[in-house]
A and B are shown apart, each in its own frame.
Chain A
Amino acid sequence: MSPSPIFQGLRPIDCDLHPMVPSMRALTPYMDEFWADQVVERNITTLDSQSWPIKAPKTIRADWRGPNGRGAETVEQLRTQVLDRFGVETGILNPLYGVQLVLNADMAVAFTRALNDWIRAEWLDKDDRLRASIVLPLQSIEASLAEIERLAPDRRFVQVLALVMGEDPLGKRQYWPIYEACERHGLTFGIHAGSAYRHPQTSVGWTSWYLEEYAANQQGFQSQLASLVTEGALVQHPKLKVVLLESGVTWLPGFLWRLQKTWKGVRFETPWVTRPPAEILRDQIRLTVQPLDAPEAEVERALGHLRSDDMLLWASDWPHWQFDGDEAIPPGLPERLLPKILRENALATYARLHEGALA
């Protein structure tokens, strides 16, 4: 199949792909005997999270669903729906399965390790174009570090992955060993929309509707950026790149304005923040462009407020329904920026993409 013409010559890098685990039985071959038996004996059927309800239209685009109503379960689907369709040179897998929701830390570690090994065996081993994130079992920071050390030698893992609404604000010092490990191994720190439901999904309390919750991710991203800046996590780890996934984009300039304006008055609280917060974030934060959240005619003006051409990374967000047909480049992105957004910015962000086939 020849790629859709809009992508020709651009050799795009897709930074946000979501393989979906068919059921817990798919993961048991990657668990030790105890946990594999526990899954069967306790009849743990699935960890599909309410952050991405399977039947919600947004979770899987209609024409990407299989006969059972699910989708994104096989490499074949990924090839025909995205990789071959758009001529993707490299795709980064960010599995979203409810392992972050599990409260028993031992169980969480067993399930998360199985998820990462499933990705390796069922996806990475089956298509050379694929790279992946190491999903972190952040129920335990020690276990997260062990998981990074276990998988980092496999250079196809290019990033680690956390949910935007997780255990604690990510700037806090207990997370710094993870950032140090990321810097040391050349891994980015990916933060994806979604909640582990340790706290209400909004700072004013629990939501009632899917719509509220999906929109609330944006507040979560803002809070994480504020935490990463004010706690000093970014200034202390200057080589760290943090990638916001399915975060939306156009909310960022307004948020930066408030953060920076207020910092001018109260910077004495956080004297280690010695540069304007917007500068720090421009250097170390990247965002995927699906969704973008702006009408076509306003996109260029909205992006101008970022004051950087280096921050945006292309993503299809497969199989989430962000666009129809082949409109995988959000309408309104300036033509002149496409080489950067579709490829060059990703190469500058993900240190490990320079290796192997892409070297």
Chain B
Amino acid sequence: MAKVVVAPVAELPPGERKLVEAGDKRIVVFNLGGEFFALSDRCPHQGGSLCAGLVSGHVESPEPGVYHYSRKGEMVRCPWHYWEFDIRTGKSWFDPKRVQVRQFPAQVESGAALVEGPYQAETFPVRVEDSYVVVEA
């Protein structure tokens, strides 16, 4: 797996997402309150771009008419047919075992570590004193 530098941490604040390309893969990286999660940008249904999807919360119900709304910002819906996926796991809500978006490891690494490589060249310079969001793809 190659490491891809997505962005300086400061440029991908909580609630934001960014699309990166790694070889022939398109990957969308989300910042959920300081934690980073990377999913394939291809919906497993028909290939819609999840990066273009609505991000919402999760609603559950113990009985008709009662709405328990939680985890705001942690579910992404494909813009084509509104299938919803858990950003933390890539799993669909309605069939979590069989319908999943591929997940990639994402973490923050220091510029100092990254300049030693190997990492995939990016369109921005990596500075030793900054931190970066990195995806292994």
Contact = CB atoms under 8 A, between A and B. Distances in A.
Interface of A: 173, 231-233, 235-236, 263-268, 270-272, 274, 276
Nearest to B68: A271
A14 B110 CA distance: 76
Contacts of B65: 173, 232, 272
Interface in B11-69: 56, 59-68
A272 B65 CA distance: 8
Q: Which of A233, A235, A265, A268 has the most CB of B within 10 A?
A: A268
A274 B77 CA distance: 18
Residue among A265, A266, A267 with most chain B CB within 10 A: A265
B63 A265 contact: no
A272 B63 CA distance: 6
A264 B83 contact: yes
A173 B64 contact: yes
B64 A265 contact: no
A263 B67 CA distance: 17
Contacts of A264: 81, 83, 92, 94-95
Contact of B63 (A236, A263, A267, A268): A236
B82 A232 contact: no
A232 B64 contact: yes
A271 B70 CA distance: 13
Contacts of B94: 263-264, 267, 276
A242 to B, nearest CB: 16
B83 A265 contact: yes
Main secondary structure of the interface of B (DSSP, over half): loop
B84 interface: yes
Q: Shortest 4 CB-CB distances between A and B: which pairs?
A: A232-B64, A265-B82, A271-B61, A272-B61
B82 A236 contact: no
15 contacts: A173-B65, A231-B64, A232-B63, A264-B81, A264-B83, A265-B81, A268-B84, A270-B64, A271-B61, A271-B67, A272-B64, A272-B65, A272-B66, A274-B61, A276-B94
B93 A267 contact: yes
Interface residues of B, number: 20
Contact of A266 (B60, B61, B82): B82
Given A233-B64, A265-B82, A265-B84, 18 more contacts: A235-B64, A263-B94, A264-B83, A264-B94, A265-B77, A265-B81, A267-B84, A267-B93, A267-B94, A268-B56, A268-B59, A268-B84, A271-B59, A271-B61, A272-B61, A272-B62, A272-B64, A274-B60
Contacts of B56: 268
A265 B65 CA distance: 19
Contacts of A274: 60-61
Contacts of A233: 64
A265 B94 CA distance: 9
A343 to B, nearest CB: 35
A306 to B, nearest CB: 20
Contacts of B64: 173, 231-233, 235-236, 270, 272
A217 to B, nearest CB: 27
Contacts of A268: 56, 59, 84
Contacts of B93: 267
Contacts of A267: 84, 93-94
A270 B66 CA distance: 10
